[in-house]
Amino acid sequence: MEELIREAASIVYASRMTIALTGAGVSVESGIPDFRSAGGLWSRFDPAEYATIDAFRSNPEKVWDMLKEMEALVIKARPNKAHRGMGELEKMGFLHAIITQNVDNLHQAGGSKNVIEYHGNSSTLSCLGCGKRYRADEKREGEFPPRCECRQILKPDVVFFGEAIPPEPMNRSFQLASMAQALLVVGTSAVVSPANTIPGLAKRSGARIIEINKERTHLTSSLTDVFLQGEAGEVIETLVLEVKRLAGTGDTPA
């Protein structure tokens, strides 16, 4: 593992454009289970009934029963060593953007500024009727489910099944992937479209792929150059230390 960490750190250190693709696995150590895991929300709430835009439009009260449970997890969650480590890499100039499938705002809380959110962010709510937007925390202590001043039930600014990924983050992510010299794949099996196209695009454009996951994925034997197996927080922490060691003995990339 030490040799693999050194190899990964060397790739990151030498790269002039490094991006990360992250998924649910990066937030598990913060207390947010993967929705698809045994203890995840989908084990208790059928996504066809609770997580589609049609379900929300037809019965928002029912959907908010699930959203309330999700919100309780997110409120308590704090950035872990993976989030903070990636924030530190960005601050040092070794990580240029994060493309995340998560909606928990933990990358930003961990210090990352250039975060591209495929599925939106649960920290704000919007009215599908009049378009007014609110911070989630300002509606937390009021009536449930939260309502707009026009009395329509508010929707979290997350992408439900049946909704399109916003074109701006998708186009920006494709642009970055085509420019990347290194891609960190962290806590995701990269099977959900369109995020699953990012590793292949980056690889075809010449990027080296560093995969950090607890288990092997379809990427491991097909696209991955360096597979670092383990908890995201521990692996990222060790990787950052090695990049710092290299940065202390060489020039920082332009």
Q: Extract the runs of DSSP E, i.e. beta strands, from 68-153.
A: 97-100, 115-117, 120-126, 133-135
With respect to residue 178, please indicate whether it lies within any of the assigned structural domains. yes
Mean pLDDT for all residues in the chain:
91
Query: At CA 65, angle to CA 109 and CA 22, rounded to 5?
Result: 35
Q: What is the pLDDT of residues 100-144, one digit of tens each?
A: 999 999 999 999 999 999 999 999 999 999 999 999 999 988 899
CA distance 94 to 241: 12
Catalytic residue from among 83, 96, 119, 218: 119
Are the CB atoms for 111 and 84 separated by under 8 Å?
yes
Distance of CA 248 to the CA centre of its chain: 29
Token pair in block for residue 97: 């953007």
With respect to residue 138, please indicate whether it lies within any of the assigned structural domains. no
With respect to residue 139, please indicate whether it lies within any of the assigned structural domains. no
Tally of domains within the chain: 1
Token pair in block for residue 70: 């999700």
The pLDDT score that the predictor gives to residue 204 is 95
Average pLDDT for residues 52-60, to the nearest whole number? 96
The pLDDT score that the predictor gives to residue 1 is 87
- Judge whether 119 counts as a catalytic residue: yes
43 has pLDDT over 80: no
CATH code of the domain containing 179: 3.40.50.1220
With respect to residue 130, please indicate whether it lies within any of the assigned structural domains. no
With respect to residue 156, please indicate whether it lies within any of the assigned structural domains. no
Tell which wins on pLDDT, 5 or 194: 5
75 has pLDDT over 60: yes
Query: At CA 91, angle to CA 86 and CA 92, rounded to 5?
Result: 95
With respect to residue 48, please indicate whether it lies within any of the assigned structural domains. no
Q: What is the pLDDT of residues 167-214, one digit of tens each?
A: 999 999 999 999 999 999 999 988 877 888 999 999 999 999 999 999
The pLDDT score that the predictor gives to residue 85 is 97
Structural domain including 169 reads 1-32+79-119+164-254
250 has pLDDT over 50: no
First CA to last CA across the chain, in angstroms? 29
With respect to residue 63, please indicate whether it lies within any of the assigned structural domains. no
CA distance 187 to 99: 12
